[in-house]
Structure 1
Amino acid sequence: MTQVEDQAFVTLATNDTYCLGALVLAHSLRKVATSRKLVVLITSGVTTHMRSLLASVFDLIQEVNVMDSKDEENLALLTRPELGITFTKLNCWRLTQFTKCVFLDADTLVLHNCDELFDKKELSATADVGWPDCFNSGVFVFHPSNETYKDLVKFAVEQGSFDGGDQGLLNMFFRDWSTKDISFHLSFIYNMNSNASYTYLPAYKQFGKDVKIVHFLGSMKPWQYSYNPSTGDVQFGSECQHVKEHLQYWWHLFIQFVHPHLQPECTGLAGQLSKMSVSSDQQEEGAASPYELALGGSHARQFAWERGQIDYLGTDSFENIKQKLDNAINGSQN
């Protein structure tokens, strides 16, 4: 596939912990064979070792200054004061070496190729599940522009944000998103909230298999869940089944591509997770693509089958399955 040099997927990681999400996101994009560049914005809080890990999968690492909304009153309404730093996201408009970009929060995960997003215009986004007249700023299509960047900063200083974070600001700035043109509304499959309990369950059953980007909204992020290194299972509470499936896949990618390269000098949760002991089998098979796993027991393989991602022409072909069954039957008779 020919690489498109002037377009990119962009994400943001302000510390080593969020770099865990950025790394898994990048590997999920590589898995689906995107033809676009991968860019990560970082701040001075990201350590040297973590930067080297980012460099191994991203095409460009761009250090930016931290921008804080300083809007403690509105942030308090969200009980999420850490969102103030998300104003740093505005720096993505300064990537003017690219003609068009798609921003993805570091707590998103790509399940299928979604390069068709680059056919969309600024500002294209998915309706927010909490208030559908607003778009969710975890995934959006934009055109880098220094002029737009300056306008956004000016607007932020003068108008602030109705929720104290980047989503409130961007919805105020692109205030005609909900009414201007339906073509700017991305399908929900490009930004599905994995943590929501969907009351319209028939719709999830009908369209859930088509989801291309999962978004782990809320304060509980994938890297904060308990993981059993012996079984390869993520420990869950009473969350919905689709949360389990998506988190399991996130951890499969993490164990294979990220965990083996972490070092104790990484800060935050990244340094702590570097000390977790994982069996060699988990590292080899844990995050393998559903299409790369050999026949046999595997949580990632089970995840693929449950989602209907079956390699009919490869490892999941009739002949291979028949051979597996024959071997199992013959073995039981010996």
Structure 2
Amino acid sequence: MAKVAYATLAANPDYLIGATALARSFRMTESEAPLLVLAPEDLPGLDQMEAEGVRVVPTRPPEVSEAFRERHSRAAQHREAPFTRGEKPSFHDPLLNFAKLRLWELDEYERIVFVDADALFLRNCDKLFGYPGFSAAPNVYDALDGFHRLNSGVFVTEPNKATYETMMLVLDAPDAFWPRTDQSFLQDYFADWHGLPYIYNVLQYVYFRLPQLWNWDATKILHYQYEKPWQEDHPKRAELGPLIDLWWNVMEGRGLPESLDPIVPVA
């Protein structure tokens, strides 16, 4: 069998909270592949992360120019490409998103399935290792035109250090600006990306914005894009309450419900 792995990114303490729940959901899938957690080596709490049965891979964002860092600071990114459909929490740092590109350096693995730390595994996803690299699920959460765009919360890649070096030349080209950070970059770099079924990356807004696409029995991975379920005073508790409760059930070891129906607005 090819050497494969799942991976996630815990770039700061807040996303380490998400990675903990992700690891606990991953154990329920009974996959034989390992789960890697890419994280800064000095991040507090990594020993507890290893106790969850994952392999911690010390990681830092790519080395980029100061001009690139200025263009992709939180203030600049939110000013030049503001989020208008949801709210990013205060701990969201756009620059840290690019650390997931370090996956391409891990060429001891033939294939890696990346899953964002603000997600949950609901079912076994080992079938993804049969997809070509680069494959990604669509960015569908409030309209069907999202099927034309990828979401970098779940993707399949074939690590290759030479590819990583080429990616870095494109990433930090003069005046390059990636409005949705790694997501914009990956869609540009892999323009002929292979599409994964959306059930491998069901974005939480589908629950109340596109309930016709919500299929609990088929969903493999649930992705909490925008607001995070562990946030205090969650701004969308009214719309996402059952999904927030689901996340906490997994985090606290209570498992998954047999069914979870969407909230359909009354006309």
Normalising TM by the smaller chain, what interval? Answer: 0.7 to 0.9
Q: Distance in 2 between the 1:5 and 1:40 partners?
A: 20
Q: TM-score of the superposition, structure 2-length normalised?
A: 0.81
**Aligned counterpart, 2:225:** 217
Give a deviation string over 1:191-232, Cα, whole Å, max 9, x none.
01113455553343xx343111001001x2111145xxxxxx
Change (3 A) 1:58 1:26: same
Aligned-residue sequence identity (percent) comes to 27
Is structure 2 residue 136 aligned with structure 1 residue 125?
yes
Bigger RCO (CA 8 Å, 6+ sep): 2
Q: How many residues align?
A: 240
Is structure 2 residue 201 aligned with structure 1 residue 191?
yes
- Is the 8 Å Cα contact of residues 105 and 139 (structure 1) preserved in structure 2? yes
Q: TM-score of the superposition, structure 1-length normalised?
A: 0.65
**Aligned counterpart, 2:117:** 106
Is structure 2 residue 50 aligned with structure 1 residue 55?
yes
Is structure 2 residue 123 aligned with structure 1 residue 116?
no
**Aligned counterpart, 1:298:** none
Unaligned runs of 5+ in 2: 262-267
Q: Distance in 2 between the 1:25 and 1:136 partners?
A: 18
Structure 1 counterpart of 2:165, one-letter code: K
Is structure 2 residue 155 aligned with structure 1 residue 140?
yes
> Which structure's CA Rg is the greater one?
1
User: Following TM superposition, where does structure 1 have runs of at least 4 consecutive aligned residues deviating by more than 4 angstroms?
Assistant: 197-200
**Aligned counterpart, 1:237:** 237
Structure with bigger helix share is 1
Q: Distance in 1 between the 2:43 and 2:200 partners?
A: 28
- Name the SS for the 1:55 alignment partner: helix
Q: CA RMSD in A?
A: 2.5
Which deviates more, 116-125 or 192-201?
A: 192-201
Change (3 A) 1:32 1:88: same
Q: Distance in 2 between the 1:45 and 1:66 partners?
A: 14
- From 82, 85, 92, give the equivalent of 1:78: 82
**Aligned counterpart, 2:43:** 46
- After TM superposition, list the pairs within 5 Å mapping 1:1-334 onto structure 2: 6-47=3-44, 50-67=45-62, 69-70=68-69, 71-72=71-72, 73-76=76-79, 77-78=81-82, 82-129=93-140, 131-158=146-173, 160-177=176-193, 184-196=194-206, 198-204=208-214, 207-218=215-226, 220-225=227-232, 237-239=237-239, 243-255=240-252, 287-290=253-256, 303-306=257-260
Q: Distance in 2 between the 1:141 and 1:196 partners?
A: 22
- Is the 8 Å Cα contact of residues 75 and 83 (structure 1) preserved in structure 2? no
Unaligned runs of 5+ in 1: 178-183, 227-233, 256-286, 291-302, 308-334
Change (3 A) 1:198 1:248: closer
